[in-house]
Structure 1
Amino acid sequence: MRSTSPSRRSAAPLPVSPPEHPRSTTTVTRTVTSVVDGQAVPGDHTVASLNPADLDDVVGEVSLAPGRIFTAAAVVAKNAQRAWADVPAPVRGRAIAHIGRVVEENAESLARLVTREIGKPYAEALGEVREIVDTCDFFLGEGRRLYGQTVPSEMPDKQLFTFRNPVGTVAVITAGNFPVAVPSWYIVPALLTGNTIVWKPAEYSAVVSNAFHDLFVKGGGLPDGVFNLVHADGAETYAGLQESLELGYIDKVGFTGSSEVGREIGALTGRHLQTACLELGGKNPLVVTPSADLDLAVEGALFSGFGTAGQRCTSLGTVIVHESLHDEFVRRFTAAVGAAAVGDPAQDVLMGPLLDAKFAERYEKFLGWVQPQHTVYGPTGRITAGNPRDGFVGDPEKGLFYHPMVVDGVRPGDELFDEETFGPIVGVTSYTTLDEAIDLANAPGYGLSSSIYTTNPADAFAYRRGISAGMVSINNSTSGAEAHLPFGGNGKSGNGSRQSGMWVLDQFTRWQSVNWDYSGRLQKAQMDVADLDADLGFRLDES
């Protein structure tokens, strides 16, 4: 087993990306495979991972495994877990800190690879990579703060304690829109608390996932079997997870993805008396009050709605703007959308392409949700020579580029209002009273992120009390996270579990209580309390 101590390693850069341009086609196409117990494990068929900004650019060939490989990885992780848990928590913390330094040294190359494989604008990609570093920095300290408690006993000569124990083996299944930041939210605290991991990333971000895995395992020096990577499609992943749960090899599941799939994961784990950590979709509202700084609200709505081409779980769904500001807000907002830079994500743009062909196909369905009573601003659909966008950066014919879309007049009952639209669509509606705005914000039944623009503290606190979302921003975007703040949602957005900060520790540890009786006789707790009361000359039911 490799050393877990970071003190013997320098944070040397690793070759995790093409050397120059994220869209370079001169790089030899790589084949990425699952990695189990430190060994590459080929699958039974391959699929191509394409650069969505340049579909002629094959980023890598992905070898997809059958479900039995997922189960085999779970067995390996289960066998490695006890030894990893026996490594003192502060030492595991130092290993996590060292991983953070390795990622930091490789941040630009990893970000370029993120941009190339999923089309995320480079500035956003670099920010995402830095989120890994922040997460590692935070959990270094948690390695020395996995506190239990000393609890007073109601009996003499007896001490009570609580301890955090790792849950065991964790299956992590993540989407590809945040291919490195979101996995780190699961993987870093799970490792820190003494768990081992089987990670199944999205197929369309597989090359980035292998680079991430290399940074953690080869760069960070994790022992073989502690962190395993499996590439598989959805059906085979589900089959392998189901088998692993039935055989007792998986003790916890973390899932980031759609609400529909999250329901299936929750039902599967529930049958095994487990509670999955579910981070699902969102229909995130942004309320604009009469006292708002309108230019700031427009700026926030622009980034919330169209950053990552609207493909975040926290992307803005509907702007709910006070009727007195509605027309002026729509005028300024649509002007900002029309002027925003769209195109090559390696350049300075607000938004690049959709992540993958399957998301483009789904987005076409969302376009069909526009109704006659809606007002659509600007061109819609795929950006092409025949359907151009003024000021487009690059060649739109090369990739999966779509027009950012603003639809005014959406109301409850409209699919565009009620359902998550994973792509660059923002709805707009109006309200009269703040209570009405809160009702509109809660109506779709999601509860992930939300925002309010106001300079009135009473409105801000009323909104915070009334909104069902797990996260509330005041005068800021619906998107954005910090490593030391809880992240997660309610309703159709999740089951109340939280990632990030000290709160995620409850996902990857179980409380154990210990009572130590050194009286030399059997003390029967509540059965003996009456005798103790009598010795003191009073009873608890007497004033």
Structure 2
Amino acid sequence: MFTSTNPSDTNEVIATVPEATAAEILTVLRTAKNAQKGWAKLPAPTRGRIIANVGRLVESNKEALAKLITKEMGKVYSEALGEVQEVVDTCDFFLGEGRRLYGQTVPSEMQNKNLFTFRMPIGNVFIITAGNFPTAVPSWYIVPALLSGNSVVWKPSEFTPAVANALTAIFHAGGVPKDILMTVIADGGQTFAALESGLKEGVINKVGFTGSTEVGRKIGAKAGEYIQSACLELGGKNPMVVMPDANIDLALDGALFAGFGTAGQRCTSLGTLWIHESIYDSVLAKFVALVENAAVGDPFKDVLFGPMISQKYLDNHLTHLKMVQSHHKVLGSTSTGRITAANPRKGFVGDPDKGVFAHPVIVAGITKNDELYSTETFGPLVTVGKFSTLDEAIDLANGHGYGLSSAIYTNDPQNVWRFREGISAGMVSINNSTSGAEAHLPFGGNGLSGNGSRQSGIWVLDQFTRWQSMNWDWSNKLQKAQMDLIEIKHDPNFVLKI
């Protein structure tokens, strides 16, 4: 059994659920695989209507689902409401795609012959997601996968089983058959063992994974052994560049939200704030003041961020603090590490000893040679460095190999276009934070942040469908492509005379 507790009050049990073994997950995968063909026979517009039902049910249960997110993983309630809205938006977008799973009619090079293309479902999809966005990110996989005619086995984070079971119940209430969307709670070891068995047996036709680069590399390699390309949405070390002509107050608002919202536990969280050397000291001082005065604590109150998702995530944050070097300046708080009565934070909201809360930390003076420069910290820790030219800023923003999200604050169009062209990230924000996504825009990264696959919008359909081509020859004779061409003549000796 796995016990899920409230990270704001670890004595409060949110749910106790059975953990599945690899053998049990494999049984679930077989069940979903066997049911998939029946689901695919439903007309796509009908599947779209079911997705519409799910969206309306999520919308009508928005507050209850958001409260459960806040209680189970500690996200500030206003952010949790926004996350649930993302599920609604995703359903609203894809209900229409049920009527737009278009193929094409393609002209043939031969007479009396027609060419067509069709989107076909892949089969059974194994989805593995993290606990930082327990509803929004899963919906990016589940909704388009179901809409396209696939069955889904979802393995959510073991730290958010109550949210996972609630979201699954909503899908089922909306009309998704229980053997078409099946949810299992398991640890990483059992999950990976089931993944390997399912790929070998052929009951997994696509793998979708959101999580760390380290684990994503293993999943991608295992899928590749079975001639599959996994959909990988991995970590980030997301840069934010502040130019001298920027609206500084706006940039600082963006840095505060991107760096410390959800306690820095987003794949799109701000990694390093790169400030032009001419404004470095003044901007850093203002950023430090904002962080020092930000409210931290009870996520149901008006705070910047609440607890870490669990003790595991706090331990990970403490490990990253050990990477601070002597040439760095640690700012933003009078202390570091866990917030407790013995290690207090000014203005803390609530009782720190009940939960797993961490001090926000700014590490200034970061350089390209530092371990923190190239490490995704995934906690309330933002590094800060300086640059002299935009070319240098782009080099610093790309040098660690991650390529998920990025941002630049400037009012000069030349800076905008040079940054967009030079940055390796899959997502670019201009005068906005590194965090934030809309349901109809592609989401995903490159390099260490992913294998180029994209979620959301029409682009994710390429992850959950395969193109099928058909040629229909009604000439009543064998026509051979590239051989039986219609002869076209021209005059090779023509010369234009003026």
State the TM-score bracket (shorter-chain normalisation). over 0.9
For 1:198-237, list aligned pairs within 5 A: 198-217=153-172, 219-237=173-191
For 1:489-500, list aligned pairs within 5 A: 489-500=445-456
Offset of residue 221 of structure 1: 1.8
Q: Partners of 1:540 and 1:348 in 2: how far apart?
A: 79
Q: Does 1:385 find its partner at 2:347?
A: no
The answer for the alignment partner of 1:266 in structure 2 is 220
Q: Partners of 2:272 and 2:204 in 1: how far apart?
A: 39
Corresponding letter in the other structure for 1:193: S
Q: 1:17-72 CA deviation, whole Å, 9 max, x = no partner?
A: xxxxxxxxxxxxxxxxxxxxxxxxxxxxx121111110111111121010011111
**Compared CA separation, residues 522 and 541, structure 1 to 2 (3 A):** farther
Offset of residue 541 of structure 1: 13
Q: 1:332-386 CA deviation, whole Å, 9 max, x = no partner?
A: 1000001111000011111001101111111110110110000011221111112
| Identical-residue share of aligned pairs (%) | 61
For 1:497-512, list aligned pairs within 5 A: 497-512=453-468
Residue of structure 1 aligned with 2:363, choices 404, 407, 412: 407
Corresponding letter in the other structure for 1:241: L
Q: Partners of 1:442 and 1:341 in 2: how far apart?
A: 32
The answer for the alignment partner of 1:38 in structure 2 is none
Q: Partners of 2:106 and 2:493 in 1: how far apart?
A: 24
The answer for the alignment partner of 1:432 in structure 2 is 388
On the 8 A contact 1:468/1:490 being kept in 2, the answer is yes
Q: Does 1:485 find its partner at 2:435?
A: no
Q: 1:216-266 CA deviation, whole Å, 9 max, x = no partner?
A: 11x212123100111111000011111011000010000000000000000
On the 8 A contact 1:62/1:203 being kept in 2, the answer is no
Offset of residue 279 of structure 1: 0.2
For 1:426-465, list aligned pairs within 5 A: 426-465=382-421
Q: 1:300-358 CA deviation, whole Å, 9 max, x = no partner?
A: 00000000000000000000000001001111100000111100001111100110111
Q: Partners of 1:360 and 1:307 in 2: how far apart?
A: 15
Q: Does 1:286 find its partner at 2:228?
A: no
The answer for the alignment partner of 1:239 in structure 2 is 193
Corresponding letter in the other structure for 2:185: H
Q: Partners of 2:440 and 2:489 in 1: how far apart?
A: 50
The answer for the alignment partner of 1:144 in structure 2 is 99
Q: Partners of 1:369 and 1:342 in 2: how far apart?
A: 24
Runs of 4+ in 1 over 3 A off after TM superposition: 536-543
Residue of structure 2 aligned with 1:365, choices 302, 312, 319: 319
Q: Does 1:320 find its partner at 2:268?
A: no
Q: Does 1:62 find its partner at 2:17?
A: yes
Offset of residue 538 of structure 1: 4.3
SS of corresponding position for 2:383: strand
Corresponding letter in the other structure for 1:437: A
The answer for the alignment partner of 2:283 in structure 1 is 329
Residue of structure 1 aligned with 2:260, choices 306, 315, 320: 306
Q: Partners of 2:368 and 2:171 in 1: how far apart?
A: 45
Residue of structure 2 aligned with 1:356, choices 299, 304, 310: 310
**Compared CA separation, residues 511 and 542, structure 1 to 2 (3 A):** farther
The answer for the alignment partner of 2:62 in structure 1 is 107
Gap runs ≥5 in structure 2: none
Q: Does 1:187 find its partner at 2:142?
A: yes
Corresponding letter in the other structure for 1:94: R
RMSD: 1.3
On the 8 A contact 1:343/1:349 being kept in 2, the answer is yes
Corresponding letter in the other structure for 1:283: K
The answer for the alignment partner of 1:76 in structure 2 is 31
Q: 1:387-426 CA deviation, whole Å, 9 max, x = no partner?
A: 1111111011110011100110011121111110010000
TM-score where L is the length of structure 1: 0.90
Aligned length: 493
Q: Partners of 1:427 and 1:367 in 2: how far apart?
A: 11
